[in-house]
Structure 1
Amino acid sequence: MPFNKLHSHIKEELESLEITTPTPFQKTSIPVIKSGANIFCTGSKNTGKTTTLILTTLHKLKCEEVGAAPRAMVLVEDRDCVLALHEAFMPYTRHSSLRVYACDDKHHIELLTSEIFEGVDILIATPKTVCKLLLLEGLNLTQLKIFNIDDADFLSSKSAYTDLLAITQGIQKCQYVLYSEKINSMLKRLETNFMQYSRTVAG
């Protein structure tokens, strides 16, 4: 069962939250994501995609704080999604040293830069905000191990899609995991950019 092979800290948190049985999507996707491949994860709402994102990200980072630069990034559509996902991470990271940072774009970009500089393990942001941070040299992406895109259907916006391509151009080696309800032609084109040799998991 997928939960049994996750980091011991994650299993403890799942037990405390009384989550014992993975969804069919989680049973299928978690082992594939753990393999390190680039993945398109597709599934309808309420199949457990966001929880899968959280669990596999924590597992990848071994549930511990390391260095100052982000080792995981999650791109989402807008500020509301940033704050909601940050809140979703909290029950799983509250007893660990992991630092999860939500880039609230209502704050001045220089404030975001200074707070990120203090040390972040998991960064949650919109493509637009990440591009601004990179332009100001306020974000180091050299240590990224996993790059998630949650509910990637928002990439149908040309500006978000263009920002995503700009961000990934500067990343040397990283696992990419994209979550969406379905794979449209625009998402499929990412195979020619950073989603090379990707696998698809449907749930």
Structure 2
Amino acid sequence: MQLKKINPNLQKALIENDLIEANELQQETFSTIKSGVDAVVQAPKNSGKTTTILLNVIQKMEKPVGESTRALILVQDKEKVLEAVEQFKKMNHYNNLRVIGVHEKGDIDYDKNVISAGMDVLIGTPIRINEMFSSAGFNMTTIKMFVVDDVDEMLRKREDAIILRLSMSAEKTQRLFFCSQITERVEILADKIMIEPLFFEMED
């Protein structure tokens, strides 16, 4: 995938998974996300939003470091968690970042034990992540990337308060929203938690 200064290990894994050409969404957002600024990205369904999130997280995290979780990706439901983790593992083949997916149907004590042994990337549903955070399952202060996929769908489910609470607990972090529509509620939440976010709107 031809992206400026992309991590060579990541590039190798992308090519092996037939992700050879960066699409418009990936080309437009890569440099901005890499720079560490906050952003809201709107793109149609099936436009590669999850791939864009995962390649940027791998690019920024680069390799396993310490024991504390450094990237948090919120996704809608169990199905999305499993899909994202499976795709992450393929793209992460040569970077060896430690990843776990958590959702309401999983065993919370098992998940907390795995995370406490050392984790780089945590992918999960807002409700399960909030439960884990409330019971000291992981430390939000070490999060360097706070990403919400399908944020417009989560806000329809009234998960604003959870996203806000988790975000407030992260100290110095990059905040990224991905959505199919930048609704008024998405704008309001971005305004509350982000620092001068950039907005990207991809057409159908």
Q: TM-score under structure 2 normalisation?
A: 0.93
Do the aligned partners of residues 108 and 37 (structure 1) sit closer, same or farther apart at CA in structure 2, a change above 3 Å counting? same
TM-superposed deviation, 1:118: 1.1
Report if aligned partners of 2:45, 2:180 keep a CA contact under 8 Å in 1: yes
What whole-Å deviation, never above 9, does each CA across 1:152-176 have from its counterpart, x for those lacking one? 1222235411111111111111001
In structure 2, what is the equivalent of residue 39 of structure 1? 39
What whole-Å deviation, never above 9, does each CA across 1:93-136 have from its counterpart, x for those lacking one? 12332111001322232222111111111100111111111111
TM-superposed deviation, 1:39: 0.3
In structure 1, what is the equivalent of residue 170 of structure 2? 171
Q: Does 1:160 align with 2:135?
A: no
Alignment of 1:137-152 (within 5 A): 137-152=136-151
- Runs of 4+ aligned residues of structure 1 deviating over 4 Å after TM superposition are none
Report if aligned partners of 2:67, 2:116 keep a CA contact under 8 Å in 1: yes
In structure 2, what is the equivalent of residue 69 of structure 1? 68
Q: Does 1:87 align with 2:69?
A: no
Structure 2 counterpart SS, 1:187 = helix
Query: What is the distance in 1 between the residues matched to 2:106 and 2:20?
Result: 38
One-letter code of the match for 1:140?
Answer: N
TM-superposed deviation, 1:22: 1.0
TM-superposed deviation, 1:89: 0.7
Alignment of 1:46-125 (within 5 A): 46-62=46-62, 64-125=63-124
Report if aligned partners of 1:69, 1:141 keep a CA contact under 8 Å in 2: no
Query: What is the distance in 2 between the residues matched to 1:18 and 1:158?
Result: 35
Report if aligned partners of 1:147, 1:175 keep a CA contact under 8 Å in 2: yes
TM-superposed deviation, 1:4: 4.0
Which segments of 5 or more consecutive residues in structure 2 lack a partner in the other structure?
none
Query: What is the distance in 2 between the residues matched to 1:8 and 1:39?
Result: 25
Query: What is the distance in 2 between the residues matched to 1:19 and 1:157?
Result: 32
In structure 1, what is the equivalent of residue 12 of structure 2? 12
Do the aligned partners of residues 126 and 84 (structure 1) sit closer, same or farther apart at CA in structure 2, a change above 3 Å counting? same
One-letter code of the match for 1:183?
Answer: I
Query: What is the distance in 2 between the residues matched to 1:112 and 1:159?
Result: 25
**RMSD between aligned residues:** 1.6
Query: What is the distance in 1 between the residues matched to 2:77 and 2:20?
Result: 31
Which stretch shifts more, 109-118 or 35-44? 109-118
One-letter code of the match for 1:87?
Answer: E
Structure 2 counterpart SS, 1:193 = helix
What whole-Å deviation, never above 9, does each CA across 1:47-96 have from its counterpart, x for those lacking one? 2211111111001112x101111110100111111111111111111233
Query: What is the distance in 1 between the residues matched to 2:46 and 2:190?
Result: 26
Query: How many residue pairs align between the two structures?
Result: 202
Report if aligned partners of 2:2, 2:21 keep a CA contact under 8 Å in 1: no
One-letter code of the match for 2:119?
Answer: V
Query: What is the distance in 1 between the residues matched to 2:176 and 2:197?
Result: 9
Report if aligned partners of 2:10, 2:95 keep a CA contact under 8 Å in 1: no
Query: What is the distance in 1 between the residues matched to 2:94 and 2:5?
Result: 19
One-letter code of the match for 2:160?
Answer: Y
Same amino acid, percent of matched pairs: 27
